[in-house]
Amino acid sequence: MAAWSDLTFDALEHITSLLSFSDRYRFGAVCKNWRSVSKGTQHPPAPQLPWLVLEEESETRKRKFYSLSEDKHYSIEIPELYGRYICGSSHGWLFAVDIKISGIIINPFTRKYYELPPLPAYHKNVDVTTLIENVPSDCMERPRGFTFKEMQTAIVFKAILSHDPDEMSDFTIMILFGQMHSPAFWRPGDSSWTVVDGPKCAMEDVLYFQENFYIISAMNVLYVVDFEPEPKLIEVGPQICPEICLEGCALQRYLIDFNENMILIERFSLSVGNELPITHGFNMIEPNLEEDCLYEWYDIDDYAIFLGRNSAIFVDSSDVPECKKNAIYFTHITESVSPVEFGFHDLGVYDITDKRINTFYSVGVFPPRVDSPVWFTPNSS
């Protein structure tokens, strides 16, 4: 009988190419030879559903991740993320901000990171020093000011990368910051953030699509970022009628590059009484820039889309058996500045075919938390 250590490089490489990210990591920890194979291979890992980045463990400060494909939590020691909030994820990198409003981007698996210059002031009347660390739940008299937790979506609402910094050193980070979610960008070598000039209305999402950054406003106007000579927003594309929102109904817009089509996804939420809004459905529209017209989309075949504070991700369910097809997985984005702790009240998967919403995690897996979890595609190449 031959030994496992007799397997040739080709065979080991073929096996690793069939393993998912986490299985490949474990495979590489078996012995030195296998480690060199798993590190040296050019094959991307077998597709998996994205992970969710959760909050840190309060005692150990380890960062918690949830792998949807494996229905498993991982707690990983990443000191760079201690005390930070995750406001965005692209290409396996996380954008994280701490209480002093300083940001980093980091690939938590290669541990490569970039320290970013101080973020632009998120509100002209709010000074960083007014942020308070935490309000104990039994505190009778609440200190003045807001906690970092409460303000985090107003500090940076979303952050995306144009490219994987490991593949292209000349990348751009675009953030939506402040009360109006105004765009600003940073490139390696810049000493500060550059704010993009634009209309004074709230922005809702940003997308890097065919070498340009696109931003959608709460008024359903699409803009492209024009970098030269002075960075500014320019209206582009066909006119998109704003959806009429009834009372108690909220709308959140997302932009996604879906197989080289730009799709605007509208997410409808309804709140009853004083309850927090709950997602009820989605609409998909393609603003076609070349033809200057709009196309309604009614299905996405075998694909699933993952929406949240990340660059939207899509997965082909025929590659990942546990993935629902023609579906939208979503997480909530905390927008309310509320001292009330609430749980994972609005996580789910929307079936585009029958328009139903289901949970995607096992019952009891998620304890109620405050942070909005962020979808994330681990990448250690």
Partner 1 sequence: MITLISSDKRKFHVLEEVANQSLTIRDVIEDRRGRRRADRIILVTNINSKIPEKVIVYWLRHFLMPEEIAHASMSHKKAEKLKKWEAKFFDTDIDTLNDLILAADSLDIPSLFDGACEKVSDILKNRSAEEVGEISKIENEFTHEEEEEEIPSENAWVWRNEFA
Give the binding site for partner 1 (CB under 8 A). 1-8, 10-11, 14-15, 18-20, 23, 25-32, 34-35, 46, 57, 64, 70, 72-78, 108-109, 111
Least distance (Å) between residue 27 CB and partner 1: 6
Query: CB-wise, 46 or 236, nearer to partner 1?
Result: 46
Amino acid, single-letter form, for residue 175: I
Minimal distance in Å, beta carbon 39 to partner 1? 9
C-beta closer to partner 1: residue 62 or 123: 62
Looking at the Cβ atoms of 1 and 140, the one nearer to partner 1 is 1
Residue 36 or 192: the one with the smaller Cβ distance to partner 1 is 36
Torsion over CA: 93, 99, 101, 102 (sign): negative
Is the CB of 78 or the CB of 105 nearer to partner 1?
78
Q: Which two tokens stand for residue 359?
A: 């949970």
Say which residues have a Cβ less than 8 Å from residue 178's Cβ, sequence separation at least 6: 120, 121, 122, 123, 154, 155
Return the number of the residue (71 or 127) whose C-beta is nearest partner 1: 71
Are 35 and 27 a contacting pair, CB within 8 Å? no
Q: Distances in Å between the alpha carbon of 239 and those of 30, 215, 278, 363?
A: 57, 14, 28, 43
How many CA atoms within 13 Å lie on the side-chain side of 372?
27
User: CA 32, CA 70: separation in Å to the nearest integer?
Assistant: 26
Choose between 74 and 114: whose C-beta lies nearer to partner 1. Answer: 74
CB 117, min distance to partner 1, A = 26
Instruction: Give the rounded distance of the alpha carbon of 108 from its chain centre.
Output: 14
Q: Which residues contact 346 (CB under 8 A, 6 or more apart)?
A: 269, 276, 277, 278, 279, 330, 331, 332
Distance (Å, rounded) from C-alpha 265 to C-alpha 350? 12
In whole angstroms, how close is the CB of 315 to partner 1 at the nearest point? Answer: 18
Minimum distance of partner 1 from residue 22's CB (angstroms)? 8
- Smallest gap from Cβ 5 to partner 1, in A, equals 6
Cβ atoms of 152 and 97 within 8 Å: the answer is yes
In degrees rounded to 5, what are phi and psi of residue 125?
Answer: -95, -10
**How near is the Cβ of 291 to partner 1 at its closest, in Å?**
38
